[in-house]
C-alpha cells in the first residue's frame, strides 16, 4: 500500500490544479494554497473516484 493522490485540489484564487493525498489536503486547508497562499476550503477539493 503506497501513498497516492486521491483528490484534486483546484485553487479558487490562482486556478492551479494539484493532485493531493489526504495528508496534503489537510495541510492545504491548514496552511493555504502552496502556490499563492490563498485560504483553502474543503469545497476546493474534488475527491476522485478510484477506477
Instruction: Find the binder of Zn ion among 11, 24, 28, 44 (CB under 5 A).
Output: 11
- Are 32 and 17 in contact by the 8 Å Cβ rule? The answer is no
Q: How far is the CB of 33 from Zn ion (least distance, A)?
A: 3
Q: Write down the number of H helices and E strands in the chain.
A: 1, 3
According to the binding rule CB under 5 A, does residue 27 interact with Zn ion? no
According to the binding rule CB under 5 A, does residue 10 interact with Zn ion? no
Q: How far is CA 44 from the centre of its chain?
A: 7
What residue ranges bind Zn ion (CB under 5 A)? 11, 13-14, 33, 35-36, 38
Amino acid at each position: 500500500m503506497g501513498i497516492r493522490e486521491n483528490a484534486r485540489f483546484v485553487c479558487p484564487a490562482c486556478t492551479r490544479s494539484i493532485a493531493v493525498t489526504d495528508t496534503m489536503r489537510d495541510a492545504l486547508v491548514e496552511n493555504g494554497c502552496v502556490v499563492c497562499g490563498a485560504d483553502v476550503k474543503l469545497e476546493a477539493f474534488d475527491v476522485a473516484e478510484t477506477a
